[in-house]
Structures are given as structure tokens and as C-alpha cells.
Chains A and B, each alone.
Chain A
């Protein structure tokens, strides 16, 4: 039995450490630990609820915006604010583009190098690469001369001996299986995606001022619309939105989705490896105006892979344990608490740094253990896609079926490392397409002279009740996200957050039920523990965000009777 440590886990957000036992080239047991803590919920206490979105947005700026959206929803829920249609459309447009941007960057810049050997691309035949590219899609950058240029650049780069971010990569590892031409295509798209992402981020800046960290507002959006002004969202900016949206969609449809399928086709064994806990949860997101329960990506819960039996999600069934995390409860340490009823005091009991290993039999992480109906669940793109599939979402079904058919696998293949990666690309295609509907409606409203983006009716704290409870839910790129707020006398009395990565990266609960990361890693082949590319494949398929996962709850002693309203 070999004890293996991966720290830092790179190509993620934040500070994640994986410890594992490896026996005969197979990972037998894994422990995931978040090793950084800030305490943002404590910081927002006693502040103006209208300011909180700005604070909690900095929980994580990779999925930048989703915490802000969950926060303004929580405050609006508490105060009974219904935002105007343009405000809702702008939020959907920002959140949708964020999802597209985040997923594409995740695939190329955080995940692809688990499958793509950049040094092997030097052996590619550029004519073959060109033919292959043309068979995959009608992406225009496909002629042999283009691939020759990329190859020459790559050759010069590697020849310089300075590999920079690619230094000490696992190049030449036996787990890499792609033909040289696919490697070359992927390298080209890695670079294309890096240029693409800065360009399409303009879409969000036009509405929210900047990216990362665009601006939001309790009551709607602080987006001034005025066709007669050069200082507001005018015709020229609305046209630039159209151009950047088209640019985004083209890349998703012609490059990202086809690449995922092309690369996945060379790794069939990874449709059988890396399943998590088999339970899935989504709170759902992308609301329709005036239709409270209509969400483009629906919520729900799936138990034990039963896709055709999706249960409704209810936030009341969420609870959290701290038995294996560096926190204490004031009463029963072994009992789970609902976020509205929870409490946490950080108390580090791990080894003193510098250390070689964590005490994995005791507490070993800043990440808590959320459970739904006392069971572990997986959240994220795979959960959303499975739930949408189970609920009969037409477009998601078509895309999933297209993907599985092309890979020659059944739906069971979705419960895997590549299943997560495929699901992420599927929902990106679906959302990119839906964006046009929101965009067109928004443009129609503006054309009709509707420039209202926010309601100021309940802006002033004197219009608020003395006490109010609210819940704001959102689907972050990495999965279901919930913010719980209690407002008292115009200030934040309590604030709590349960985040996507907290669900997935959680340590075991007192029943010994492990979280999705640790479950998914069991059985992973590890050819060389010093070069754990196989482990990274599965970890990256979740798209970890550790700054999100780690947070502290305030003491809350009041049960929630708040109705959860989406948005």
C-alpha cells in the first residue's frame, strides 16, 4: 500500500489536497481536503444586505457572478421584491454567458491536459489533422497551413527549453492515448480558446461593467439602457452583444462540443471509471419572467441512478455535518444541522505545518459535509443534465443521445469521469442556444421603449420589515448553490452559504458515507503515484472550486419558515 499526496492540485480554483492509498496500481481510498479558510459569512454580518452580493461574489471569481446572483435573490426573497423583466433577462444573459465561458475554459485550460499530450502533437501530420478537423465540424481554422503554423509555434516553444505552465507535465505518460493529430488539434484549440474567452467576456462587461466581477443590484440590475446615449447600453453595445454571443456559440458548437466527443472516443475506459455516489441534486436555474416554477434548467433529485424517477428538490432537506471538518458544534457534534439552524466555529485540529500527511482518521478539511435527506449527493453539470433528461428536457435529451450514440455507449456511461465532461459540454450547447431567446426578448423590450432594469420600490431600509428570512438558489457552473439570509433591523443578522464544491468535495459523515470526490476516485488506475494524471482526470471532471467550498456559518437558532422563491 503506497500513501500518495497530491498537493497542490493544480488547474482548479483554490487550495485542494488529495491524499490516497494506492495498492497494485489502483487507488483504494482517497481523502479530499480544502486547506484555505477566510470566513466571509462572518464578515458580512451586520452589514447592509444590499452590499452583500459584492462581498460574497469574492467567495470565488472563477464562477464570478453566481454567488452575487444567489445573494441578491436571497435578499429579494426576504423582502418580497419581484424584479422587472429586463433585470431578469440581463441576469440570465450574464449567468448564461458565464456558464459558457467557464465551461469552455474549464475544458481547454483546466481539464484538457489530462487527456492531451502537447509534446506528442509535434509528431502530427498536418494534412491528416486538417482532414480530421474538417470531418469533425465546419470550424474555419482547419487547413494544413494553419496546423503547420501551430505545430511550428509549438516546436519553437518546446525547443526553447522553457515550458512555463507546461513544465513538469506528465508528457509521455502511458495513460495518454490520443493520436498525434488529435493532440495537435487540441493544442490549437487550447490557444484559440484562450483568445476566445477574453473576447466573449465583453458580453458580460457590456451589461455588468466588467468581467470578472460584474455588477449586480438588489431589485434588478444596475444597467443603464439609453439608445440616445454613448454612456449607456445603446444600439452599438447591443450589436456588440450579438456579435460576441455569436462568437461564443460558434466556438461551443464547432469546437468545444465536437472536441469533447472526439477526445472521449479515444478513452472508452473512462466512461466506466470515476462514478461518484450515484445520487444527484440540482436546485435548477434560468427562470422565466412571471412564471415562478419555470426554469430552463430544472431542479430535482435522483437516487441511485434512477434517471426516470426524478424527485422534487426542497431546501428544507439540506443539512450539514462537521464531524470530519475543522469546526465544532456547540451541542451534539455528530448531528447534522439545516443551514438556517446551523452553527460553526472554526477550530483547526490538524497537524502543525509543515506536515507530510493529514490525520485522515480524524478531522482533515475546511470543507464541511452537506447531505440531502441525510445522504451524499453529487451536484454540477452531470446532475443538471441527468435531471433535465429525466424530466424530459427536449434539447438536453437530443444532445445527450447524440453524444452517447456517437461514442457508441448507453446512458450508463454517463455515470463516469467522461460522463461529467460530456454533460458539461451538453449543457453549454443548450444554454448557448437558449441565450438567443433571452437576447431577442431583451432587444424587443428595448425596441418597445422598456428601459426598466430595476425596481426601487423596496430600496430604502425603512420600507423593510423588522425581520425577514430569505433563500436564494442558483446553479453555479459547478452545481447547486444556496444562500440563506436573515435580515434584522436593516442589517444582516445571519448569512449562510452551501456551495457546489462543498457537496462534492465533502469528507465522510458519521455514518461513514463519503462524498462524491472520494467515491469517484476509488478504483482509479495509478500507473505512477508521482505522476497521477489518472487521478487528475476524475478530480478535474468535477471542476473543483475550493475557495467556494470553504466557509463558515454563523450561529442560527431559528427555524426557517421562508418560502423559497426562484429567482
Chain B
């Protein structure tokens, strides 16, 4: 088959699922940036992806989504993802078979949809978990369908190919686990063991990082490279401070000390105002938020370190210097 014909066939395949060639190349461009590669690699990424087209030729992989002690911020962030957008993802790429926020069916029919998906895709589905798990009082602080969150989680994790712990609550316990942790809230770690876990912390996490992780798994058939905390290296490999656009001000000792002066508006380093970017690994500076339009520091608020373990206690007060720590 010559390359032109391959391309035509692919275009037809894309068309059949409602993805235009342009959309696809746009997506490849975003993936290339996300993986930290220069733009010239876009074509190579596209070729690599085209060779593995599960959503064109096979069933869309099943994704189940479980909300525990959550604020639904992770779901919200997922729906803000750009490449692919949530519409592209749920209509063309994955089969989101259980998600309480978006699902049409309620009650017994919702449970039935979840059960059916677990059965049909046993050992193959991706489980996304949002929120922490309360251990106090036998788990009675989080009950769904008359069953504890833990009951649900264990059952759903049991048949999953992999579990994505999404957001700081699922990954580390998060806000409910902040001192004094009234419900003995915990990460989902113990409950989902021994399933393969990817951790995408953040309060909320960046929707595009979740999308990229799912896409990576779908296309390459394996999880992305993870660090010692099981976070995808492509998103959590570097400290925010190292990649901050304000970093050269830091190097020049140009510091902001107020939310109302020329230094602040001049984009000087926010470290003296409590910025925790020097101790926080995340992709905010690279991918940024909301179609790349901005990020916290970009708007003028210090990074509070929302993707780091125990940031609610370790990094508070938010506007104070991190004790005993200095950025490099």
C-alpha cells in the first residue's frame, strides 16, 4: 500500500467516526507539546498514533468513573480538556460507561450500566477515581446505592486494567484528609491494590493531563512512564519554578512583595508572597489551563502547590514562605 492510499484510508476512517484530519493533526500537535518534544515531531507522533488506531477499528475502550469524597472538580477539569475535548473523547475515543455527573440513567439503571460494563470489559477497562475514601465509622461517611464507597471501589478496581487516581484527594487524601481529618479520609491506594495505578494529582488536576494519559494507554497499550510516586513523568517531571516564565526575575532577585505594586504587575517572582512553585511538580507552566490560555501564576496568584502531598497542611498558610525551604 503506498503512503497516499494509507492516508486516504485513514482519512475515511477518521471521517467515519467524525474526526477530521485537521482535528487529528491538532491533537497530535498538542500531544507532541505535552510529551516535551519540539513541534517538528508532530508528524512522527501522528504516524505513531495512526499505526495504532483502536478507536477506528475496534470497540472504544471502556472507562468507568467513580466519585468518592469529592467536589466534582476533577470531573469539571476533565470536561475543560482541549485535546481531545470531552465531546471528542466520549463520542469517538472511549466509552464512558459509568460517570455519575454526565450519565443519562439514574438509580438501578445506572448501576446496571456499571455492572454490565464491568462484566463485558472485565480486566480491560480503565477506572478513574475522584475523591478520597473515608475510613472512620466503617466508611459510613460516603455511601452510594446503600453501599460504602470502599465496597464500590474494591469491586470496580478488581476488574480494571488500570486505575487512574485523579486529583489530590484520590492520590493523597486531599482536602478531606487535611488536619484534623474529621472522617479519617485517605488516598485510594490500599483499597485498589494490587491494581496498576497512575496518579494524577492536582486540586484540580489539568484535564489535558488526564486525557493524554488515557490516550497514551489507548494508543501504546501501556501506561506512560511513571516516577517513584506513580505520576506520569511527562507531566510531573519538573518543578513549576524551573519552568516558570518569571524564573529570570528570580535569578535577578526581582521579587514581588505585594499584590498592589509595580513589581507585582511587572511579573516579578512571587516567592516572597508564598509561591510554592519551587516545591511543586506539575505541568501548569507547559500545558497551562483552559486551552492554554493561562495558569495561576500567569494571572498573578502564587502557586499553592495543589498537586503535592499534604499541601493543605504542609504549604499553609498559603501566603507565607515555606518554612526552612528555599528555591533553587
Contacts and interface: CB of A to CB of B under 8 A. Distances in A.
Contacts of B295: 209-210
B299 interface: yes
Contact of A454 (B175, B259, B267): B259
Contacts of B234: none
B218 interface: no
B144 to A, nearest CB: 6
A58 B169 CA distance: 11
A454 B204 CA distance: 25
Contact of B264 (A55, A109, A224): A224
B154 to A, nearest CB: 13
A13 B72 contact: yes
A198 B300 contact: no
Given A43-B179, A355-B146, A212 B299 contact: no
A348 interface: yes
A536 to B, nearest CB: 6
A156 B143 contact: no
B180 to A, nearest CB: 7
Contact of A352 (B95, B97, B138, B301): B138
A381 to B, nearest CB: 20
Nearest to A346: B182
A170 B109 CA distance: 9
Contacts of A451: 265
A62 B148 CA distance: 24
B103 A232 contact: no
Contacts of A232: 265, 267, 300
A220 B70 CA distance: 28
Contact of B96 (A50, A165, A215): A165
A194 to B, nearest CB: 4
A11 B142 contact: no
B246 interface: yes
Interface in B17-49: 17-18
Contact of B317 (A8, A13, A48): A48
A486 to B, nearest CB: 18
A352 B140 CA distance: 8
B273 to A, nearest CB: 9
Nearest to A112: B104
B286 to A, nearest CB: 14
Contact of B259 (A162, A220, A230): A220
A254 to B, nearest CB: 19
Given A215-B301, A220-B259, A11 B106 contact: yes
Interface stretch (A31-39, A261-269, A367-375, A400-408): A31-39
Interface in B52-70: 59-60, 62, 67-70
A385 interface: no
B73 A231 contact: no
Contacts of A59: 71
Given A38-B69, A162-B59, A195-B85, A209 B298 contact: yes
B100 to A, nearest CB: 5
- Chain A interface extent, by class: 35 or more
Nearest to B320: A48
A195 B92 CA distance: 14
A39 B299 contact: no
Contact of A10 (B76, B103, B117): B103
Nearest to A461: B317
Contacts of A42: 180, 182
A415 to B, nearest CB: 25
Given A7-B146, A48-B318, A231-B267, A530 B183 contact: no
Nearest to A53: B318
A552 B113 CA distance: 34
Interface in A393-451: 451
A222 interface: yes
B246 A55 contact: no
Given A164-B90, A224-B267, A10 B100 contact: yes
A208 B113 contact: no
Given A61-B76, A164-B95, A10 B106 contact: yes
A82 to B, nearest CB: 14
A6 B265 contact: no
A532 interface: yes
A166 B104 contact: yes
B175 A164 contact: no
A493 to B, nearest CB: 15
A199 interface: yes
A224 B294 CA distance: 12
B316 A51 contact: yes
A50 B107 contact: no
A29 B295 CA distance: 48
A162 B109 contact: no
B143 A353 contact: yes
Interface string A4-41: 01111111111100000000000000000001111110
Interface of A: 5-15, 35-40, 42-43, 47-48, 50-51, 54-55, 58-62, 64, 105, 109-110, 113, 118, 149, 153, 156-157, 160, 162-170, 191, 194-195, 197-199, 201-202, 204-215, 217, 219-220, 222-226, 229-233, 237, 240, 346, 348, 350-356, 451-456, 459, 530-532, 536, 547, 552
13 contacts: A37-B134, A39-B183, A105-B79, A195-B85, A202-B294, A206-B293, A206-B294, A209-B301, A212-B73, A215-B299, A217-B259, A223-B299, A348-B137
